[in-house]
Amino acid sequence: MRQIFLDTETTGLSAENGDRIIEIGCVELIARKLTGNNKHFYLNPGRDSHEDAMKVHGISNEFLKDKPKFEAVADDLLDYLRGAEVIIHNAPFDIGFLNKELERIGQPPLLSCVEKVTDSLVMAKEMFPGKRNSLDALCHRLDVDNSGRTLHGALLDAELLADVYINLTRGQNSLVMDTSTEVQQGSALPVVDLAQFELPVLMANAQECVAHETSLADIDKASKGKTIWRTASLTAPA
C-alpha cells in the first residue's frame, strides 16, 4: 500500500471558527522507500493568519495573495491521496481542516477517498508513554536530523515525519530483504522464507555449563530457595 505523510499549515487553530489551510505538504512512501513523488501547495486562504500562527509558520499574508484557492487544487490533491494510507502527526487537527475545506466545495470527507488515516502521535504515545512526543521531540529521540526546521513548514514536516515513522516501525521489516537496486511504483520487497535455511545448533561446552549452573545457584541463594525452577522441581509428580 502507498503511504502518504501529510502536514498542513493554517491561519489559526480552529477550522470551525473560519481558520483556513495555507499550505499542504505530502511525501510518498512505497515499500518503506521514499519515492520522491511528493505534493506541495501554498494556498490563498482568503483571510489573514493570526499573529501567533505566523510566528509558527512564518508565511506572510502578502506571499499568499497570488496563490490558488483550495478548490483549485482539491482534485489534484484527492487524486494523489486516493487509496493510500495517510499518516499525520496529531491527525484530528489536519483532518478537521481538510474536511472543512472539502465541505466548503461540496466534497465528502477525506476518509471517503483514502484507505485509512494513521495518527503517528497516537503511535508515539503508545511507544513512549509519559514522554514528550512532538515531532521535534521524536526527531531528537530517534536521531532524525531536524536542524533545518527553524519554522514549521508543511513539506519539511512531512519529510521529517516520514523519517520518524520509518524509525518508529523499524522492527516491522526485520525479516524483509531488499534485493533490488531501485523500487518500482507499486512494487513490494521480496519476503525471505527462513525455512529454506538450515540453522546450526551450537551446544554449550563444559565450561559454559558450569558457569550457567553457578549463576543459577547464586540466583537461588539470593531468593532463599524460591526460584521458579527449584519450586517447580520439588512439586513435580514422580
Count Cβ atoms within 10 A of the Cβ of residue 210 and give its class: 0-12 exposed, 13-18 middle, 19 or more buried. Answer: exposed
Per-residue confidence band for 157, with pLDDT thresholds at 50, 70 and 90? very high
Q: How many CA atoms lie within 13 A of 49 on its CB side?
A: 23
In this predicted model, which residue has the larger pLDDT, 196 or 65? Answer: 65
Query: Percentage of the chain surpassing pLDDT 70?
Result: 83
Strand spans (E) along the chain: 3-10, 21-30, 33-34, 39-42, 85-88, 116-119
Superfamily of domain 3-173: Ribonuclease H-like superfamily/Ribonuclease H (3.30.420.10)
> Which amino acid is located at 79 in the chain?
D
Q: Is the pLDDT of residue 186 over 60?
A: no
Which sequence spans correspond to the domains of the chain?
3-173, 206-235
Q: Give the tens place of pLDDT for each residue, 122-138.
A: 999 999 999 999 999 99
pLDDT of residue 203: 85
Cell of 142: 530517534
6 beta partners: 26
Q: Is the pLDDT of residue 162 over 70?
A: yes
In this predicted model, which residue has the larger pLDDT, 58 or 188? Answer: 58
Q: Max Cα separation, the chain? A: 87
Give dist(CA 12, CA 69) in Å, integer.
17
Q: Is the pLDDT of residue 194 over 60?
A: yes
152 is catalytic: yes
Give dist(CA 138, CA 121) in Å, integer.
10
Per-residue confidence band for 214, with pLDDT thresholds at 50, 70 and 90? confident
Residues 6 or more apart whose Cβ sits within 8 Å of residue 159: 5, 25, 27
pLDDT of residue 146: 85
The residue annotated as part of the active site, out of 50, 140, 152, 212, is: 152
Per-residue confidence band for 9, with pLDDT thresholds at 50, 70 and 90? very high
